[in-house]
Amino acid sequence: MEQPEIKVNHIETKSVMTKSNTPIGGYSVNPYVGCPHACKYCYASFMKRFTGHTEEWGTFMDVKDWPEIKNPKKYAGQKVIIGTVTDGYNPLEETYKNTRRLLEELKDSGADILICTKSDLVLRDLDLLKEINENSRLTVSWSINTLNEEFKDDMDAAVSIERRLAAMKEVYAAGIRTICFISPVFPGITDIEAIIDRTKDQCDLVWLENLNLRGGFKADIMKYISDKHPDLVPLYDEIYNKKNRSYFEALEKKAEELAKKYDCRFVDNETPYERVEKGHPTIVDYFYHEEVRGTANSGKRNVIHNP
């Protein structure tokens, strides 16, 4: 996918820190609104409802300006997640440096900082990341749900999978905790075993999250499957129209078997903070986001009554 032309706006916000409702809780911090990666499956496109944007997702970017965080110590020990509804290391970060500014403001906070990205621009700030990592918990996560660059190009305008893998390897080698976030898992397309085998020596955690088609993009994804993978139409119909969970239930069992194969821990909706022995990342089951939302990464799930 080619990088779309981006309409850039500048906005002022009272604070860049927002309480998070992600499964792992803490604070969500997004230095931008919108995301040039334009992922076809991006649940964050719902942000348009709250920001007044009518443009197509991936074609606009609001660059935030916020008052300096004057008491960063108040976040000591708190989980701070950078990039829950945008990628802080999107291409415009090269120009505006909002994410670097944010990290500089938080570097002595003692916060437990998690950076979520699909980019290798994070390597620009490796000096700063090493400094933060000396005194605080720091983790960098890359979303990698395929090793097939053609499928990746069909889904997003971010950097190649190979560039993401190279960046993960370099950050891991720098002594910083890394995550391979296999998300979203596309039924019949995402090969979790191949990805784990490729990344197990350069990450501490593997997160698994299923493709969620509750957003307005469901029709686009179903059309893509019909056009590019017509053999998978019956499977997607079973999962996303008939609410049949057997595919992902079987995949959960497979993930647990892979954990045994690679001598890894397998946990459900729970992310322990740890560095693990190389080659043995902890595999975390976050399938069915609606069941883990608001559970504060406790290992418990919400009870959902499907229609």
Asked whether residue 297 is assigned to any structural domain, the reply reads: yes
Total structural domains within the chain:
2
Q: Quick one: pLDDT at residue 47?
A: 65
Asked whether residue 171 is assigned to any structural domain, the reply reads: yes
Residue found under tokens 């950097």: 159
Strands 27-29 and 79-82: parallel
Q: Are residues 104 and 30 in the same domain?
A: yes
Q: Are residues 160 and 72 in the same domain?
A: no
Q: Are residues 7 and 44 in the same domain?
A: yes
Q: Are residues 169 and 276 in the same domain?
A: yes
Residue found under tokens 């946990």: 267
Can you list the residues of the chain whose pLDDT is less than 50?
307
Q: Are residues 184 and 70 in the same domain?
A: no
184 within 8 A of 145, measured Cβ to Cβ: yes
Q: Are residues 95 and 208 in the same domain?
A: no
Strand partners, 64: 11
Distances (CA, A) of 267 to 50, 138, 249, 281: 35, 21, 15, 11
Report d(CA 103, CA 117) in Å as an integer: 14
Q: Are residues 24 and 146 in the same domain?
A: no
Q: Quick one: pLDDT at residue 195?
A: 98
Q: Quick one: pLDDT at residue 306?
A: 55
Asked whether residue 122 is assigned to any structural domain, the reply reads: no
Q: Are residues 150 and 52 in the same domain?
A: no
Q: Are residues 54 and 190 in the same domain?
A: no
Q: Are residues 99 and 172 in the same domain?
A: no
Nearest to 154 by CA among 234, 6, 38, 5: 38
Domain boundary among 78, 112, 146: 112
Q: Quick one: pLDDT at residue 42?
A: 87
Report d(CA 214, CA 272) in Å as an integer: 29
Domain boundary among 112, 129, 163: 112
Asked whether residue 217 is assigned to any structural domain, the reply reads: no
Range(s) of the domain holding residue 276: 137-212+244-306
Asked whether residue 301 is assigned to any structural domain, the reply reads: yes
pTM: 0.92
Structure tokens, 45: 């496109």
Distances (CA, A) of 69 to 12, 66, 79, 271: 14, 8, 16, 27
- The torsion angles phi and psi of 32, rounded to 5 degrees, stand at -135, 160
Q: Are residues 147 and 288 in the same domain?
A: yes
Q: Report CA 163 to chain centroid distance, whole Å.
A: 16
Q: Quick one: pLDDT at residue 52?
A: 75
Q: Is the dihedral of CA 266, 271, 277, 283 positive or negative?
A: positive
- How are strands ordered across the β-sheet holding 79-82? 17-19, 27-29, 79-82, 112-117, 138-143, 177-185, 205-210, 282-285, 266-268
Q: Quick one: pLDDT at residue 21?
A: 72
Asked whether residue 82 is assigned to any structural domain, the reply reads: yes
Asked whether residue 220 is assigned to any structural domain, the reply reads: no
Asked whether residue 194 is assigned to any structural domain, the reply reads: yes
Q: Are residues 67 and 149 in the same domain?
A: no
Other CB atoms within 10 Å distance of the CB of residue 52: 6
Nearest to 142 by CA among 197, 194, 204: 204
